[in-house]
Amino acid sequence: MKVGIVVFPGTNCDRDTKWAFEKIGAQAEFIWHNENELKSYDLVVLPGGFSYGDYLRSGAIARFSPIMKSVSEYAKKGGYVLGICNGFQILLESHLLPGAMTRNENLNFISKFHHLKVINNNNKFLQNLKEGDIINIPIAHAEGNYKVDEDTLKSMYDNEQVLLKYCDKDGNELNPNGSIDCIAGICNKEKNVFGLMPHPERAMESILGGSDGVKMIEGFLK
């Protein structure tokens, strides 16, 4: 599998993401944001960080980088795209995923491991997990409060687009940032564009706190 990892000014999880995909046997390379075309990738990843310093809103400037036009075209043709944290925010700003992000409810930056419940696994990303599985993945964000209107939210549930929710170790909802319905990760209707605030690339080694991220990203290998 060949993975392209987009790097914007301020991106800081690019190397972690490359290491994570190489760990599962993928070939990974960086794509500078000024590029205006994509090569033949099996997956394009928008990693976490602070693109353009998160000025205006997180992801609001990055959406205008030349590479994003190519990412949009790639996604419309059925290519797989994964946005992690700031990458998720960029996908929202680019309208490749529904909804928007606002500041965390407590107005603080949150950085810790947090449990997630798998809501839907009928997609490539989470196919190695079961519905109802509880996993433990780090979160690190100041604007992770996901919002969407009620009609769109209902449509997302109908189309199995709500993938992950924040919970405690027993699977009970536990909301760290105020996101509607405790939503932590979603996809588009076509199930080829994925976004989540947690960082699976930081959960690849038990010695580093947990390896639940391995099953998540290995889904793209199949």
CB atoms within 10 A of CB 106: 11
Please list, in sequence order, all residues whose beta carbon lies within 8 angstroms of the beta carbon of residue 91, skipping any fewer than 6 positions away.
46, 59, 81, 83, 97, 193, 195
Q: In this structure, what are the phi and psi dihedrals at residue 148, rounded to the nearest 5 degrees?
A: -160, 150
Contacts of 116 (CB under 8 A, 6+ apart): 134, 135, 136, 137, 164, 165, 166, 167, 184, 185, 198
Catalytic residues: 85, 199, 201
d(CA 185, CA 1): 23
- Take residue 169 and report the two structure tokens written for it: 């170790």
